[in-house]
């Protein structure tokens, strides 16, 4: 870490600490290594866990104003970097934040430095046809580059000592995680790996940051994840694709604080409003399908859906029910890499979590497959499957048509013309391997190649046995959820 950084007075002090720490580490590491493998939970219904009550309105405010991440860029440097690039704002925020992009909060640190810090909407908010939708996973977020590049550029605009110290702290964290969070394709999210990297640099008992990793570092080729929408949480007993987030969800959601919250009392202060944020998240409704619907066809689709899909995905409307089912990977057949990462290397991370403040009222129990999610608002959340490997719902329902290598044609969710109202998803074009050879780097970032590790579009063949007409009816029905 820190090898390609500009040298500054503070940097030298940091490097010295780093060298001393490495020396200390090599001379006294006698503890036996932690077992890396984990036993996964068997498939089946996931039981509910008790949740703390909260106030949704207070939760929205906390989400969009508080400093639960704990570090960011000095506001002055951010403004210089941003220049006059247009931003998407969100109404109903406090004065300090109302002119910021919806995914940044304005805060002041203990030294009086004004900072802009990322909020949860960096991944869990996106624009849909011109409006910011809180809770919609951002499928256009670009994690393909080195995150340190922009932070280093911002650093050049800083002259004040207090600002330099705040910047340094943020830049160091970004430099530490940077090798573990770079993805080949725009939209693929590295959050899981990001969390594992942060745990590795933190003492689980004191929560103090360590300049050297205390645990094995995660892979530098993270399995891609498509960010699930928040409105599912009102139905879900466990968080995450593997159903690992059991126990108190509010505490689990605070994992973003691993970035820069280094002290227990600060975590406790965040925990006071965490149940409010959770209450807000569980109050969210999915966006309503904004195009026309053939209601007769949708009704036929409902019947087919209830016969073919409801056992796993539940029922909707007046007789709403949701089984919270973890489906075994052998039955499902979708890409196993995310599950295998937990199974083969998850031991130290689970143990870290258990010892930490985050683990006091939660359990980490990854499953031997993936949770069948509620399908509310599913039309708005493409691409599909946990790894975002399948561009539209029509392709989910007919596995023989899924493109092997494809390029997204949309660069955000603003333009209705980019949305495919027949197949449900953002428009794409299939690409051959030869064609990829003549693409420039901006186009290559939009290529999803299902042959890559973790990127397979296999499995979930539950729609294959339906006729073309039946599948069309199910698609019509899904528009109504
Ligand atoms: C860097 C991107 C990123 C940030 C920032 C982030 N999340 Fe997430 N979040 C994800 C991803 C990716 C998943 C899915 C992980 C999985 O299932 O393996 C997820 C899952 C979740 C879930 C579970 C959803 C479900 O259906 O199981 C909740 C709830 C959640 N996040 C809340 C939050 C909150 C609250 C914050 C801010 C404190 C936050 N997240 C910050 C990327 C992010
Ligand atoms: C045996 C259980 C099971 C059945 C039956 C089933 N599904 Fe699924 N479905 C799942 C699981 C598990 C996932 C998550 C798979 C993954 O992400 O790898 C999923 C994912 C999906 C997704 C993508 C969700 C997302 O957020 O990307 C859609 C859409 C979907 N199913 C629709 C259907 C429809 C429509 C049917 C009926 C034709 C159906 N499923 C039948 C278990 C099932």
Distance of CA 430 to the CA centre of its chain: 26
Query: Is it the case that residue 243 has pLDDT exceeding 60?
Result: yes
Ligand closest to the CA atom of residue 237 = 1
- Rounded to whole angstroms, the Cα distance separating 368 from 130 reads 39
CA distances from 24 to 1, 28, 31, 219, 296 (A): 18, 7, 14, 25, 72
The CB of 189 under 6 Å from ligand 1? The reply is yes
To which residue do tokens 């870490």 refer? 1
Query: Is it the case that residue 19 has pLDDT exceeding 50?
Result: no
Question: How confident is the model at residue 8, as a pLDDT?
Answer: 39
Question: How confident is the model at residue 35, as a pLDDT?
Answer: 73
If you average pLDDT over residues 173-193, what whole number do you get? 96
Question: How confident is the model at residue 15, as a pLDDT?
Answer: 34
If you average pLDDT over residues 3-7, what whole number do you get? 41
Question: How confident is the model at residue 1, as a pLDDT?
Answer: 40
Query: Is it the case that residue 134 has pLDDT exceeding 90?
Result: yes
Mean pLDDT of the residues in the chain: 92
Question: How confident is the model at residue 312, as a pLDDT?
Answer: 98
Per the CB < 8 A criterion, the answer to whether 456 and 405 are in contact is no
Query: Is it the case that residue 7 has pLDDT exceeding 80?
Result: no
If you average pLDDT over residues 160-183, what whole number do you get? 96
The CB of 381 under 6 Å from ligand 1? The reply is no
Ligand closest to the CA atom of residue 251 = 1
Question: How confident is the model at residue 33, as a pLDDT?
Answer: 61
How many angstroms separate the alpha carbon of residue 465 from the centre of ligand 2?
14
Dump pLDDT digits (tens) for 31-77. 556 678 999 999 999 999 999 999 999 999 999 999 999 999 999 99
How many angstroms separate the alpha carbon of residue 62 from the centre of ligand 1?
16
Query: Is it the case that residue 406 has pLDDT exceeding 70?
Result: yes
When computed from its CA atoms, the radius of gyration of the chain, rounded to whole angstroms, is 23
To which residue do tokens 């960011």 refer? 72
Query: Is it the case that residue 2 has pLDDT exceeding 50?
Result: no
């Amino acid at each position: 870490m820190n090898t390609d950084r500009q040298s500054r007075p503070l940097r030298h002090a940091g490097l010295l600490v780093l060298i001393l720490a490495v020396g200390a580490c090599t001379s006294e590491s006698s503890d036996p290594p932690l077992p890396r493998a984990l036993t996964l939970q068997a498939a089946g219904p996931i039981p509910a866990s008790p949740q703390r009550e909260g106030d949704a309105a207070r939760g929205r405010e906390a989400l969009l104003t508080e400093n639960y991440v704990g570090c960011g860029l000095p506001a002055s440097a951010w403004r210089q970097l941003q220049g006059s690039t247009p931003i998407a704002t969100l109404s109903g925020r406090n004065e300090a934040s109302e002119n910021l992009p919806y995914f940044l909060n304005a805060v002041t640190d203990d030294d009086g430095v004004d900072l802009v810090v990322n909020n949860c909407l960096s991944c869990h908010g996106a624009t849909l046809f011109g409006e910011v939708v809180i809770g919609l996973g951002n499928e256009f977020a670009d994690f393909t580059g080195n995150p340190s590049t922009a932070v280093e550029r911002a650093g050049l605009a800083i002259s004040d000592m207090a600002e330099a110290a705040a910047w340094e702290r943020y830049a160091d964290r970004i430099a530490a995680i940077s090798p573990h969070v770079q993805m080949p394709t725009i939209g693929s999210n590295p959050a899981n790996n990001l969390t594992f990297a942060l745990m590795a640099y933190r003492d689980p008992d004191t929560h103090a940051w360590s300049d050297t990793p205390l645990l094995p570092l995660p892979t530098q080729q993270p399995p891609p994840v498509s960010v699930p929408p928040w409105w599912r949480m009102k139905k879900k007993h466990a968080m995450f694709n593997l159903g690992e987030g059991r126990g108190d969800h509010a505490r689990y959601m605070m994992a973003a604080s691993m970035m820069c919250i280094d002290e227990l009392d600060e975590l406790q202060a965040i925990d006071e409003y965490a149940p409010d944020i959770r209450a807000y998240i569980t109050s969210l409704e999915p966006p309503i399908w904004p195009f026309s619907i053939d209601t007769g066809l949708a009704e036929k689709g409902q019947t087919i859906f209830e016969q073919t899909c409801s056992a796993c995905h539940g029922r909707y409307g007046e007789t709403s029910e949701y089984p919270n089912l973890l489906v075994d990977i052998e039955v499902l057949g979708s890409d196993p890499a995310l599950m295998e990462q937990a199974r083969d290397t998850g031991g130290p991370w689970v143990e870290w979590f258990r010892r930490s403040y985050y683990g006091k009222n939660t359990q980490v129990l990854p499953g031997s497959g993936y949770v069948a999610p509620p399908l509310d608002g599913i039309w708005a959340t493409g691409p599909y499957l946990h790894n975002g490997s399948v561009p539209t719902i029509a392709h989910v329902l007919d596995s023989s048509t899924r493109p092997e290598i494809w390029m997204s044609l949309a660069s955000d969710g603003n333009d209705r013309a980019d949305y495919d109202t027949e197949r449900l998803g953002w428009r794409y074009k299939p690409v051959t391997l030869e064609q990829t050879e003549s693409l420039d780097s901006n186009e290559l970032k939009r290529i999803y190649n299902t042959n890559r590790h973790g990127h397979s579009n296999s499995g979930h063949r539950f729609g294959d046995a339906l006729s073309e007409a039946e599948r069309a009816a199910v698609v019509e029905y899904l528009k109504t959820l």
